[in-house]
Amino acid sequence: GSTCVAALQSGRRYIGIELLEQYHRAGQQRLAAVQRAMQQGAANDDWFMPEAA
């Protein structure tokens, strides 16, 4: 799951393989949470002020 999450966050494609079903489920849940977070964006995404940079 960790490798898939890192790939997702860096915009890479990934394939995940787990031996145990419990790890597979945990990985799916973690990936879904990361995908939701990436779609929502950060709470301060619209706070950038170019004139202050």
Joined together, the tokens standing for residue 2 give 């960790």
Q: Has residue 6 got a pLDDT over 80?
A: yes
What local confidence, expressed as pLDDT, does residue 11 receive?
93
Rounding to the nearest 10 degrees, give the CA dihedral for residues 22, 23, 28, 31: 150
Q: What does the pLDDT look like over 28-39, one tens digit per residue? A: 999 999 999 888
Q: What does the pLDDT look like over 9-25, one tens digit per residue? A: 999 999 999 999 999 99
Burial of 12 (C-beta count, 10 Å sphere; 0-12/13-18/19+): exposed
Q: Has residue 1 got a pLDDT over 80?
A: yes
> How do the domains of the chain map onto residue ranges?
2-42
User: Is-above-0.75 flag for pTM?
Assistant: no
11 by DSSP, 3-state: which? coil
